Chain A
Amino acid sequence: MGNTKKFTAVVVGIGLVTLSACGSSDSGDTGDSKTVTLVSHDSWAVSKNVLKDFEKKSGYTVRVLKDGDAGQAVNKAILTKDNPQGDVFFGVDNTLLSRALDNGLFQSYEAKGADRVVPEYLADPDKHRVTPVDTGDICVNYDKAYFSEHGLTPPESLDDLVRPEYKNLLVTENASTSSPGLGFLLGTVARYGEDGWEGYWEKLQDNGVKVVDGWEQAYNEEFSGSAGGREAGGDRPLVVSYASSPPAEVVFADPKPKTAPTGVADGTCFRQVEYAGLLSNARNAEGGKALIDFLLTQEFQEDMPLNMFVHPVREDAQLPEEFVKYGPQAEDPQTMDPAEIAAGRDQWVKSWTSLVLK
């Protein structure tokens, strides 16, 4: 019986401890004003010394919560905006900006250094609810080796992609679940207009475009030009990715090649701008403001390209050599006003889904 008693005591004990734990809010939120929390997506990255430097200068400790991919992170932030998980959110881009603003995710704060930002990247100029931090171009990448082996010229524009010589070569992402996929769709809408984009996609489909769920799958499995894709036996020499993907292929290669194995089709690009903002119900608003200022400092802006493979928004930020060489920004990318995206996005994605996926 002794054993039984002990057993009972253990079971009941565990139960009570657990239940009492439910009652007390054992909160991991550090309410103290010396910690500032940044909520972002999985791609957030910064050099350790740069962050340390900020912590030392400002006196704040930075806690980072990486929360899924960009779209998910934005949605989760909106759902929890009354009682946010952090003070600053970084990583909403122009394709989703209206969703964040309409839902009241951010409060006004004009960052120090905003005057050095390339003016066309500034959004919400009256209320300053968001601060642009970086830009990136979503472009079709090509596998140089494939095209030279087959004696083919790589495509240069969206128009080229529907030509018969590029049949069955392109892989892209699901526009409803992937941000490069959405960017590419918006690029085609911007280029061919409300009346023409569906016709263009029909032609793309006739020309054998393949759609996969996410960027990882498209770039690292299907695309023949990436290090991962070569290993996985990818057989599509054209992929929707970023203008910064070629420098990434160089930086992460060992040994480093003399020239990037992939190139960018310049006339296929859509420009993305990523913003940060002070969350509406931030506990540590002061710390949050300091953190946003930090994101616009020259130090952070110049550290960013090789960490997140994006371009700085400050006019005076110097680009690393690999970027100048292999990842120039597109000359004349497609763009679209966030308000226009807001008005059309859901309907375009819906039509695209039934046109291309069903």
Chain B
Amino acid sequence: MDLARTEVAPGKRPNRGGAARLGFIALPVAFFGLFFAYPVAAIVARGLKADGDWRFGRIVEVAAQSDIRHVLWFTTWQAVASTALTLLVALPGAYVFARFDFPGRQLLRAVVTVPFVLPTVVVGSAFLALVGRGGLLDELWGVRLDTTVWAILLAHVFFNYAVVVRTVGGLWAQLDPRQEEAARVLGASRWAAWRTVTLPALGPAVAAAALMVFLFTFTSFGVVQILGGPTFSTLEVEIYRQTSEIFDLPTAAVLTMIQFGAVGAILAVHAWTVRRRETALRLVDASGTARRPRGAGQWALLAGVLGCVAVLILLPLAVLVQRSLDAPDFGYYRALTREDGGTFLVPPIHAIGNSLTYAVAATAIAVLIGGLAAAALTRRDAGRFVRGFDALLMLPLGVSAVTVGFGFLIALDEPPLDLRSSWILVPLAQALVGVPFVVRTMLPVLRAVDARLREAAAVLGASPWRAWREVDLPMVRRALLVAAGFAFAVSLGEFGATVFIARPDSPTLPVAVARLLGRPGELNYGQAMALSTILMLVCAVALLVLERLRTDRTGEF
């Protein structure tokens, strides 16, 4: 991903480097072992073990049930359909954001990323306000899409648009347009030039983006739960139902293992495409490749993409804001400070403070763990073990948050690790989803630091710590801030695991939104919309700040 830099030839490195790397990797390994592998293993074991015996026969039994096969089938096909639809809608967007210069581009780039860091409950409620009973479409044309698969697919496009725009568009902006021009000078048609020059260069990025979208939609939870009604169920939703509502732990355990296998396979393919992307491409500075659109065709394309963004992304967000303002004099916002709502032990407004506190702690953990892991993974000549670790760090993105949440409850309940009623549990769970983002942001930048600078510093007598501080840190500081910002935003939005472990007296914003949505009454609904709007604004501000900080645009997120 450090495409713009020259490769550093792996020189002979002193043994000390190996030891340092082992040191770097020890903390992330311990962290993931303790707060991910152990709780997940504990809850799966709880399901598969009866009277001290393992019951692996259950796996076959469960997989043979027709309703479980139905869930598997739906999970897969809706993910395929969502991914295809997202690519269809977002690839033109990626092109426009990469190659066209137009006023408000940066702002819009940040805005289309907002849905990605919004919690799925908020996305679900935004779409419910748009396509549900009494929603905008219902009022205008009497069209209701809730409890249909269309609502789910559209919400998935809304959610993942930014993944494609950022992954593919980031690379597209750095491809040298002169290569395509050269092909055309040599007589190739516009289409042939694009097909033979640009498409192969973009291929791996498109594949990587598609796989990430597939991963996120394959494991979709909140969107399907809120918009799907009782008939649609993904593996993730089914794991939740089996664990939390039906209390069939064996079935939940088997489903968790199936999902684990599927996600592992997706990540393995993803790691492979990422590596292919690191093959040499001729890249240029992104700032020089975008220009004003020319000709009717290009203007039409720009207009089409902006229209799509307006309908698919801005409209749901706007409906959310409008709903939150439905009561006179900001009534829903003012109601957030009242204590007598009955839903919580505290006024809902406290959720903002809770969320921010948790997110700051989660960010600190994610940056520390992710930073160390990235540092350990930096070396190009890293062995198989380290490369495998790279993919492992992504696993929390694809493993059921419900499993992690319940795992925390039953695994981390004994001294010296009796964290169950400690506030730190929530940031720990949130950091699990933040770390992959930190690693993916830091890795390309760290890899781009010329190792010879470090060696020079060492030769001149600097300690490794001092060499790091004087050489690496100044170069990665900006990336560190970007990583921290992203970890912060995803921590704010994390819902699945938090909902299980957040204490009733200190709910986070997404948890508060979900609880308010689950209560009857206009006022509760309005408050949910108001809280969602606040959360959306916080995320948007964080992302705008990131846009200003970001220098390297080839990162995935």
Contact = CB atoms under 8 A, between A and B. Distances in A.
Interface of A: 1, 4-5, 7-8, 11, 14-15, 17-19, 21-23, 25-29, 42, 45, 64-68, 71-72, 74-76, 78-80, 82-83, 85, 99, 174, 176-177, 211-214, 216, 219-221, 228, 231-233, 346, 349, 353-354, 357-358
B361 interface: yes
A78 B247 contact: yes
What 6 A-B pairs have minimum CB-CB distances, sorted nearest first? Answer: A15-B368, A14-B364, A220-B520, A174-B230, A83-B413, A28-B421
B330 to A, nearest CB: 21
Given A22-B428, A85-B420, A354-B67, A67 B469 contact: no
28 contacts: A8-B469, A15-B367, A18-B365, A18-B368, A26-B422, A26-B423, A27-B418, A27-B421, A28-B421, A28-B422, A42-B343, A66-B345, A71-B245, A74-B247, A75-B243, A76-B409, A76-B500, A79-B46, A79-B409, A83-B413, A174-B230, A211-B230, A212-B229, A216-B518, A220-B521, A221-B133, A232-B133, A346-B248
B61 interface: no
B39 to A, nearest CB: 12
B67 to A, nearest CB: 6
B519 A176 contact: no
B342 A45 contact: yes
A29 B421 contact: yes
Contact of A18 (B133, B364, B518): B364
A214 B423 contact: no
B276 interface: no
Contact of A79 (B230, B365, B410, B518): B410
- Most chain B CB within 10 A, of A21, A174, A354, A358, is at A21
Given A177-B230, A221-B133, A231-B522, A75 B419 contact: no
B15 interface: no
Nearest to A221: B133
A162 B489 CA distance: 52
Contact of A64 (B241, B245, B342, B345): B345
Nearest to B361: A18
A261 B366 CA distance: 55
A28 B520 contact: no
B303 interface: no
A82 B521 CA distance: 38
Given A11-B368, A22-B424, A25-B422, A176 B245 contact: yes
B368 A65 contact: no
Interface of B: 46, 66-67, 70, 133-134, 229-231, 241, 243-248, 342-343, 345, 361, 364-365, 367-368, 406, 409-410, 413-424, 427-428, 469-470, 473-474, 477, 480, 500, 503-505, 515, 518-522
Given A15-B368, A75-B245, 18 more contacts: A4-B469, A14-B368, A18-B424, A27-B418, A27-B422, A28-B421, A42-B518, A74-B247, A79-B406, A82-B413, A99-B247, A211-B230, A216-B519, A216-B520, A231-B522, A354-B66, A357-B231, A358-B231
A232 B146 CA distance: 14
A228 B522 contact: yes
A27 B245 CA distance: 28
Nearest to B419: A25
A21 B417 CA distance: 11
Interface of A is mostly: helix
Given A29-B421, A176-B241, A83 B67 contact: no
B406 A358 contact: no
B406 A228 contact: no
Contacts, number: 136
A72 B405 CA distance: 13
- Most chain B CB within 10 A, of A17, A79, A346, is at A79
Nearest to B360: A14
A220 B521 CA distance: 7
Contacts of B515: 42
Contacts of B522: 228, 231
A21 B425 CA distance: 10
A211 B503 CA distance: 32
Contacts of B342: 45
B152 to A, nearest CB: 15
Contacts of A71: 244-245, 247
A11 B481 CA distance: 11
B412 to A, nearest CB: 10
B134 A228 contact: no
Given A14-B364, A219-B520, A353-B67, A83 B418 contact: yes
A28 B503 contact: yes
A75 B230 contact: no
Contact of A15 (B229, B247, B364): B364
Nearest to A83: B413
Contacts of A74: 247
A21 B413 contact: no
A85 B421 contact: yes
B477 A4 contact: yes
A221 B128 CA distance: 13
A232 B424 contact: no
A26 B424 contact: yes
Nearest to B503: A28
A260 B368 CA distance: 60
Contact of A357 (B133, B230, B477, B519): B230
Contacts of A83: 413-414, 418, 420
Contacts of B134: 232-233
B395 to A, nearest CB: 21
A308 to B, nearest CB: 11
Contacts of A4: 469, 473-474, 477
A279 to B, nearest CB: 14
B29 to A, nearest CB: 14
A67 B241 CA distance: 16
Contacts of A72: 244-245
B520 A228 contact: yes
A64 B419 CA distance: 19
A211 B364 CA distance: 45
Contacts of B477: 4, 7
Contacts of B409: 76, 79-80
A82 to B, nearest CB: 7
Nearest to B521: A228
A174 B147 CA distance: 14
A85 B422 CA distance: 12
A227 B364 CA distance: 47
Nearest to A16: B368
A4 B406 CA distance: 40
Contacts of A358: 67, 70, 231
A23 B34 CA distance: 12
A7 B2 CA distance: 25
- Most chain B CB within 10 A, of A22, A66, A174, is at A22
A40 B290 CA distance: 59
A349 B248 CA distance: 12
B418 A25 contact: yes
